[in-house]
Structure 1
Amino acid sequence: MVALENLYMRLLLLITLLLFAGRTTGQTAGFKEPTPKEEFIIELANECFNTNTYSPSKRLAIYPFNKARSIKLISFKEDEFIPVQKKIVDYSKVLESHVLGADETNELTKILYNMGYNPHIKPIFRIESNYKCYEPRNGILFLDAAGKAFEFIEICFECHRTKASSNKVIQGTFCGQKISLIKDFFHRAGIQYGTSSRYGKTTYAEILKLDSVEMLQALQEKLEDKVINGDNVEQLNAMEKKLMILLNSRALYRADIQNSGFATFYFKYTGGFYPQTAALLAEIGATETLAAFKSSLQQWPGGIVPSDRPARLKLLLKIADKAVPKWKDIEKGLYTYKMDTNAQVLTCKEDLDGLILKYIMAHKNDLQD
């Protein structure tokens, strides 16, 4: 479902961008793919950016925080919707709850009101999440002195959607990672239901019992939840960091930006770990993938990938239009092609997932929750 929704969103964004471009340039509206540089700008324009617009006191003055005597995070069964009727909370339907302290309230308001779009990037086009599914499992209750929920925000983390109890509730700008940041906030506050792995397994012992495909996905989800777009890598232990790097190397086979795995890898925080990625690919014997990684360096001036993301993105925008086509050609060499019943079938020359699984099982005792 999520994969299909993401595909829908990308197609909608592309179509709208093209029509918009046709209108603004005076050209006949048509289908012209954005250049690699333009697509990077689209991605950047939708990322969250810490604007630091509001001080803590100004954030607390925003409704409904300014009227709340207490603020509570809750979880509930997805077929129930938030258990609030006429401001009365039915706690028999609440699975978990956590009352926010002053520091936590400050952190939540910072996420809601100081995380927005980067004001320094002029977007070609910007679009917010538009998932059609909606099965909420979590919510934020704003309680008065009598314990009544005078306002609330209902949240479906899986579908990236929220609903407020009234249009007076100010939720802030929902940039690309906003929902993920709120989800992590809930999880760190002890709310498990609705915030844990969609595979139903959260500990390493549980995850390692899954089948191979689900195991890799659950492990990557667990580690991504910890690092939050690369901002908290220092929280990982040595083995977790190695595993995160290896799992992210699979981006080469899961192209996103401009259908290039390298473009995706270098654009995200993962690009800052090029040397470590190459070293680990060599360690697990991923010779085909490693050769492709080394070839991709030819598009970077001096063969050096900046580890600092702002510096890397600045340079990436300069080289994108020439580099991305070259990277796509390199990636084609990782597959064998054959026709099967009038359809072209692609087969990976190297089983990177299998090599990573072998490495995981050899070091599973080093994975500690």
Structure 2
Amino acid sequence: MFFIFSFSQKKKKKTKDALAELRSYSYNDGEIKKDFKPIPLQKRIARFPFGKASKIKIISYNLYLKKARAYEPAPPPPKTKLDSVNLEKYYENLKNTEPVELGDVINNTDNEGLQESKMLTLNEISELTHILYNTCNKYYISLISQSGCFFPRNAILFYDENDKVFAYYDICFECEGIESSPKGMLEPIETCEFLYPDLEKFFKSKGLTTQYMPKK
């Protein structure tokens, strides 16, 4: 009789332990990991492309263009001198509504298409790598979604010792999307929704614009 009681108690304890272990592995998306340990600076800056870069620059472009330009009917034929001026401005604006490609910005030696830029210091690079590599990894995330639109206005450029861009991140904060060249510089989990607010704050803190800005 004593033996049976002892056995049942042991079995009950094992069941409790199993439930406790199961609960320890359950989590909600977006919950911070209890065992999260940030990647140290030395490992962050050793990772490609940071480990190869001689300098790193953040930039803004396409700031005066909307993501999608709504159709606007052309003004009526000019009847006065003012009408002629307005019509000329209308067609001039049409020429300037095509988005600039990042590749063109990089390759233009006269900086055509580049609107804002900031060369990063070592402390700023440390701050940037912390955002890129330690933001999403501290959360439990089971699903990564991305908006269908992609209209980048900002980028991170990586230069080699010959002052040539060998890699970049192209970023759209409005759509929360990031693309890289070469591809795959960030793991999919590292581009979660929590990345963009912190990364956008970083750009803004360095004096760069991240959203559409109408011309004055």
Partner in structure 1 of residue 79 of structure 2: none
Alignment match of 2:134 (pick from 104, 111, 114): 114
- The answer (yes or no) to whether the contact 2:178–2:191 under 8 Å persists in 1 is no
| Aligned: 1:173 with 2:190 | yes
Q: TM-score, normalised by structure 2?
A: 0.61
Cross-structure match for 2:29: 45
Q: Is the 8 A contact 1:64 1:142 kept in 2?
A: yes
* Residue equivalent to 1:143: 159
Partner of 2:46 in structure 1? 61
Aligned to 1:132: 148
Partner-residue secondary structure (3-state), 1:130: coil
Q: Where does residue 107 of structure 2 map in the other structure?
A: 88
- C-alpha deviations, 1:63-117, integer Å up to 9, x for none? 00000000000011151131448x6355211000000000000000001111124
**1:106 partner amino acid:** S
Look up the equivalent residue of 2:61 and give its one-letter code. Answer: F
- Compared CA separation, residues 168 and 128, structure 1 to 2 (3 A): closer
**CA-based RMSD:** 2.9
**Does the 8 Å CA contact 1:48/1:118 hold for their aligned counterparts?**
yes
Match for residue 105 of structure 1 among 90, 108, 125: 125
Task: In structure 2, list runs of 5 or more residues that go unmatched.
Answer: 1-25, 66-98
**Is the Cα contact below 8 Å between 1:140 and 1:154 reproduced in 2?**
yes
Which SS does the other structure have where 2:112 is aligned? Answer: helix
1:235-254 equivalent positions in 2, closer than 5 A: none
Q: Which residue of 2 aligns with 1:75?
A: 60
Q: Equivalent residue of 1:94, what SS?
A: coil
Cα contact 2:170–2:178 (8 A) shared by 1 = yes
Supply the distance in 2 between the matched residues of 1:170 and 1:190 (Cα, whole angstroms): 25
Greater Cα shift, 148-157 or 87-96: 87-96
Please, what TM-score do these two structures have when normalized by structure 1?
Answer: 0.37
* CA distance in 1: counterparts of 2:205 and 2:49, whole angstroms: 23
Structure 1 residue 176: deviation in Å?
2.5
Look up the match of 1:152. 168
Greater RCO (Cα-Cα under 8 Å, separation 6 or more): 2
Q: Which residue of 2 aligns with 1:334?
A: none
Structure 1 segments of 4 or more deviating over 3 A?
A: 46-53, 87-90
Given the superposition, is the C-alpha separation of residues 159 and 68 from structure 1 closer, same or farther in structure 2, using an over 3 Å criterion?
A: same
**Cα 1:89–1:169 shift into 2, 3 Å:** farther
Counterpart in the other structure of 1:186: 203
Q: Tell me how far apart the structure 1 counterparts of residues 138 and 118 of structure 2 sit (CA, whole Å).
A: 32
1:163 maps to a residue whose letter is E
Residue 15 (structure 2) aligns with: none
Q: Aligned to 2:115, what secondary structure does the other structure show? A: strand
The structure that has the greater radius of gyration is 2
Gaps of 5+ in 1: 1-40, 201-369
For residues 136 and 185 of structure 1, the distance between their equivalents in structure 2, rounded to whole angstroms, comes to 16
Q: How high is the sequence identity, in percent, across the aligned residues?
A: 30
Q: Distance in 1 between matches of 2:193 and 2:200?
A: 13
Instruction: Verify the 8 A CA contact 1:74 1:94 in the aligned structure 2.
Output: yes
Which residue identity is paired with 2:170?
A: E
